[in-house]
Structure 1
Amino acid sequence: MGRTYRKPLSTQAALGRLLTALNHDTPRSAARVVTCSPDISSTTNLGGWIDKNGVWSAAERQDWFADDTQRLLKWTETYTGQHIELGIAEINFVGLLGEIRTTWSRWRQRLIPSGFYTTLFSAEL
């Protein structure tokens, strides 16, 4: 997409920036992307994507924190949102990615599933 960055980025940061740039550079492709994660949206750099595209919900929900000017992430839940947050449900995460992939055979609508998962390890020395 012709983007360059001044210094090295982590893979997660680069992917977050790529998703954010999709809306501007390739809006038709961006309209087909569905992201999902099990309770780690902010730590996987999905904030820009979620702010722009919203969180999916079966119905619009009231944003109880809309008046908070200090919050880092808008969490707008609508039926047109393109991010699905699963909470702490890793098994559901894997199943959802598979289901999103089947949209072509069911409804002739191709969606691009994008799953984000981070595992934190700790070790005692």
Structure 2
Amino acid sequence: MNSIFLLIEDNTIDQVVTAQLLRKMIGATQIFVVKNGIEAIEWLKKCRDQFCQPLVILLDVRMPEMNGFEFLDAYDELPNEMRKETSIYMLSSTLDPGDIQKAKQNKHVAEIFSKPFPVQKFKDLL
């Protein structure tokens, strides 16, 4: 797996489990973890240009400070150069029909998954 992964997740257990699944099931070697959308935007501004590989973002829906949808709004404002070769997959433990619809309508979201992270289904998509 040649991609870089950015996991945007506030729950520590979900962070550890998802990172382990990415390593074991997909062979991911570069996994960065941030706790909310604010930290993710800061990471993108600071670090994205350091990598030429594709970026896969796993984005939690419900987080404090800046939730997944607020992140997507801020992400949309970033320069195109920071958003190139990036795929965003949303993760939600509460698959609210409104959240599903909102995610599916967002041009940046490739797919929305329910938690726990369905790594095999995700691997098949890659």
TM over 0.5: no
Rg larger for:
1
Q: Which has the higher contact order (CA 8 A, sep 6+)?
A: 1
Query: TM-score with structure 1 length normalisation?
Result: 0.33
Query: TM-score with structure 2 length normalisation?
Result: 0.33
